[in-house]
Structure 1
Amino acid sequence: MIGTHLAPGYDMDKSAVQALFSFGFFFLSFLLLRLTSGRLSGNKKYQARIVRIRREPVKAAPCKQSA
């Protein structure tokens, strides 16, 4: 939507401006994820932990064979 509105004002192709904004926001989201994941990975609140250990093995459901 941003590219559609800005392209005519700068006399540019709408598709090219849309593609530039799409890739720009795509890479910006990767950058933000990279920055926040490093900060959150050190927080024990967001780390996996073992809650319970099962003593008996889990039985698989029987397979139905088609004839």
Structure 2
Amino acid sequence: MWCEGDQEYKDYRTREVQPETLILAPKHAPDFVYDRERLWNEVERVESNVNSQLSREIRVALPSESIQ
């Protein structure tokens, strides 16, 4: 993903565990919110506070059930 603020590409493909990702948006949201690169660049452009939280990561561990 191209980061306009840093003027560099961010590569998250090397993570040990590839997460499931999705974008949830209301029906009236503009179409660009489903473009991950543009969405994050807009978020970083609009949020200018030093202590802004731009995103959140939620980790969930689900038990695996064996079928016998």
TM-score, normalising length: structure 2: 0.23
Structure (1 or 2) with the greater helix fraction? 1
- Bigger-Rg structure (1/2): 1
TM-score, normalising length: structure 1: 0.23
Taking CA–CA contacts closer than 8 Å with sequence separation of 6 or more, which of the two structures ends up with the larger relative contact order? 2
